[in-house]
Chain A
Amino acid sequence: MLEQLLIFTRGGLILWSSCRGLGNALKGSPIDALIRSCLLEERSAETSFAHDAYTLKWAFHNELGLVFVAVYQRILHLLYVDDLLAAVRREFAEIYDPKRTSYDDFDETFRQLQKEAEARAEEMKKSKQAGRAPAVPGKKQGAGGAAQRDAKQKGNGAGGGGSGKDDGDGDGDSGKGRWLANGNGNGQEKGARERSHAPPGSVVVKGKENGGPQAGAFDVNKLQKLRSKGGKKSDNTKPASKGGEPKKIVKKNRVWDDSPSESRLDFTDPVDERGEGIVEAVAADQGESMMDKEEDLSSESEAEEEDEEVEGAKPGAKKKGWFTSMFQSIAGNAIIEKSDLQPALKALKDRLMTKNVAEEIAEKLCESVAASLEGKKLGSFTRISSTVQTAMEEALLRILTPKRSIDILREVHAAKEHGKPYVIVFVGVNGVGKSTNLAKVAYWLLQHNISVMLAACDTFRSGAVEQLRTHARRLQIPIFEKGYEKDPAVVAREAIQEASRNKSDVVLVDTAGRMQDNEPLMRALSKLINLNSPDLVLFVGEALVGNDAVDQLSKFNQKLADLSTVPNARLIDGILLTKFDTIDDKVGAALSMVYISGAPVMFVGCGQSYTDLKKLNVKSIVKTLLK
């Protein structure tokens, strides 16, 4: 049953709501959540959005700047919503006036449209169903407007269709049956259409009577599906847990040939924190970290590049005559249609993909831009490609602009005032550069007079602890380590306790690289995060990654959310992009990662020495992406 249909402007004013007098009576204000997490994140091309107990679907009218949103219970599958939204959009566009702000007369139109849409959906369903035993004749009830449509059908067909409704779409029907009953209550004004007939009446009653068992039937189906899904899941975990076993076996030295076993090959220095040791402490002053240097933006005009693109786009857009389209673009009366946008969008998508943006991200972005441009009037003297270009530029700027503050220093100072150390955890897959960039971040923090402590929670990879120890010695900062084969979560906890004891401001926690599909390792990671609740979970990703970035980030986030013990799971808070110097202008990985996770890029690693850490320059990335 449709909970509410809302019409509002892009500027935020609600123009009409189907739910009168109750205002926004929905739980949890789902409309605001929709806007914030979906429409503003450029995911407007998706079909629906689920929030709490509701599902939301929407439609735009880009010319008038209106948004139509339908909210309904998530457990129902209403088929007529898309239809209804399109019809409402058409009708409302005719009566819309920018000066008017109340549209009470739309109530009538809406109710009629709703009935028509439901009837249409029912027709479609009936035409799909096979005929079954005729329906049980029930009490006579005056049907609403839908009865008009139903009555037009043959009685047998209606009866057969009515009984055949109980498989699959049972729930939608029970919901619809209920609505029709309600419609009867207050639909009396449509007196002209009131007729009492057996077939439609039985349709209604069937819906109502079987509402109980039908809903039950639906639930059983759902339960079976869940059970099979659960079965599949348990199959997956079994081999993975077996994979976890061999790790516990103590390492034996490898014997390559028959030579007698040699003495221990362990040359690690005895544990020695502020050791003078063999490595001399290199002066930590290698110059200013690039984080603090401002970048110069060279503002080139992009007009020349645009002309080249138009040549490519024009041969595709030859649907209307060339002359008319030129004339219209000059006069500025052309309304943008989807077919016009296709060639320009395809060119844009290809361009994005050559810049190493993941394929599905480029696809979704283009669809979102198309959704926001459809139906708009072209301004005079503009070409479609330039409109698309501007819209895409704005969209990219919006996505890459951080939602939360990326000023780590301010947060560190805030934590300092509370007397607790600020904990940053570096996670990522194997070989992306976590340990190296951890050292760079430590260097940068040191330059701002913040005391840092390293925590060596990579207890798996050989040499990881020594690597961090070397960094700590060169930067002259304390390091907390417990050697290898220890539980990283416990090591991290003890490191944080140690840090609060010796009053370090920041604790940088290094973890082992792990593939996103590796179930036991992901579980260990989420245990570390849950146990220690760090202030910042930084995902380290390399800029060289292509389509895999999408998979990595989404799986990481999903695992962190699934395996979390608290209701508000800690997800990835920020991204550290590494190896940025190895890609010339193929900067698309940044976009893929930000789009899929919603987390901002906090640092960019652009080299292998301590000073090679930068901030992300959003404008230059957008320019490079669209060049």
Chain B
Amino acid sequence: MVLAGLSGSGKTILFYQLRDGSPHQGTVTSMEPNDGTFVLHSELGKKGKIKPVHLVDVPGHSRLKPKLDEFLPNAAGLIFVVDALDFLPNCRPAAEYLYDILTKSSVVKKRIPVLILCNKTDKVTAHSKEFIRKQLEKEIDKLRTSRNAISTADISDEFMLGVPGEPFTFEQCRNKVTVAEASGLTSEVSQVEQFIREHVKP
């Protein structure tokens, strides 16, 4: 299970939230991936056999993007974290990153399910997940047309996204893409945990 997203979207906090139930004393920009296999903190109290989850938090800094390729092929699912508070200025880079992920061959061939997580929803000025979803779809649509206009050999486009001629929506992806909300700081991570539990093989 891979946590990816732009730098500053809150992945490391979410990682520690899921693992320990609290973000401790805060985080700084990650320089290395955080890799851990553990039982989700909220499930610790449950009885019965609980399978530990292998979670990897990949740094979002652009210089470290190649690290994502190391972990993607073995991923059972991808959580793409988006900063719901500071969304609009980062909309274009977030959409580009998401587009790159959705067009990677490993993601498409294995139909890795993707959860787009709108983080920092505890703040008042955070955008709603519907708004973010629509914005991302629009941006990816624009990216699609500009990439296709480039024709033949493009940079790293390995697969075409969506149906040509129609505006892009996430339903058109062959792998399942859903949107959810969470807040790393106040430990509102129930939707994330649900996603994880669904897709980690029991």
Taking beta carbons and an 8 Å cutoff, which residues of A are in contact with B? 6, 8, 10-17, 23-24, 31-32, 35-36, 39-41, 65, 67, 101-102, 292-294, 397-399, 401-405, 407, 409-410, 413-414, 417, 448-449, 615
Contacts and interface: CB of A to CB of B under 8 A. Distances in A.
22 contacts: A12-B27, A12-B30, A13-B12, A14-B27, A17-B26, A24-B26, A32-B28, A35-B28, A39-B31, A40-B31, A40-B64, A41-B63, A65-B32, A67-B31, A102-B24, A401-B62, A403-B63, A404-B62, A409-B150, A413-B149, A417-B142, A449-B149
Give the most central of B30, B64, B65: most A CB within 10 Å.
B30
A16 B20 CA distance: 17
B92 to A, nearest CB: 8
B160 to A, nearest CB: 16
A401 B66 contact: yes
B146 interface: yes
A403 B25 CA distance: 29
Given A11-B32, A11-B33, A12-B27, 13 more contacts: A10-B30, A11-B31, A12-B59, A14-B26, A17-B26, A23-B26, A36-B29, A292-B152, A398-B64, A401-B65, A409-B149, A413-B146, A448-B151
Contact of A402 (B26, B33, B62, B147): B62
Contacts of A417: 142
Contacts of B62: 401-404
Contacts of B150: 409, 448
B20 A101 contact: yes
A16 B28 contact: no
Contact of B32 (A6, A10, A15, A102): A10
Given A12-B28, A35-B28, A407 B12 contact: no
A407 B31 contact: no
Contacts of A16: 25
A11 B153 contact: no
Interface residues of B, number: 36
A404 B62 CA distance: 7
Contact of B12 (A12, A17, A293, A398): A12
Contacts of A397: 66
A447 to B, nearest CB: 9
Contact of A35 (B20, B29, B66, B96): B29
B95 to A, nearest CB: 11
Contact of A32 (B12, B29, B34, B155): B29
A13 B31 contact: no
Given A13-B24, A17-B25, A35 B31 contact: yes
Q: Which 10 pairs between the two chains have the least Cβ-Cβ distance? A: A12-B30, A11-B34, A12-B12, A10-B32, A413-B146, A35-B29, A12-B27, A14-B25, A10-B31, A101-B24
Contact of B25 (A15, A39, A293, A398): A15
A6 B33 CA distance: 20
Nearest to B155: A407
A10 B12 CA distance: 11
B57 interface: yes
Contacts of B152: 292
A8 B28 contact: yes
Contacts of B25: 14-17, 23, 102
A117 B92 CA distance: 48
A32 B61 CA distance: 11
Give the most central of A12, A101, A405, A410: most B CB within 10 Å.
A12
B143 A410 contact: yes
B16 interface: yes
Interface string B28-43: 1111111000000000
Give the most central of A13, A16, A17: most B CB within 10 Å.
A13
B49 to A, nearest CB: 22
Contact of B34 (A12, A39, A101, A414): A12
Nearest to B59: A12
A295 B152 CA distance: 14
A321 to B, nearest CB: 35
A41 B29 CA distance: 13
A409 B146 contact: yes
B153 A294 contact: yes
Contacts of A292: 152-153
Given A35-B31, A40-B63, A11 B12 contact: yes
Contact of A11 (B26, B57, B149): B57
A603 B9 CA distance: 31
B24 A31 contact: no
Contacts of A615: 155
Interface in B75-92: 92
Nearest to B143: A410
Nearest to A40: B63
Contacts of A101: 16, 20, 24
A17 B145 CA distance: 48
Contacts of A10: 30-32
Interface string B88-106: 0000100010000000000
A347 to B, nearest CB: 26
A35 B31 CA distance: 8
Nearest to A15: B25
Nearest to A67: B31
A13 B184 CA distance: 14
Contacts of A24: 26
B79 to A, nearest CB: 16
A414 B96 CA distance: 13
A6 to B, nearest CB: 8
Nearest to B22: A101
Contacts of B24: 13-14, 101-102
Contacts of A8: 27-28
Contacts of A41: 63
Contacts of B59: 12
A64 B147 CA distance: 43
Nearest to B62: A403
Interface string B142-168: 110111011111010000000000000
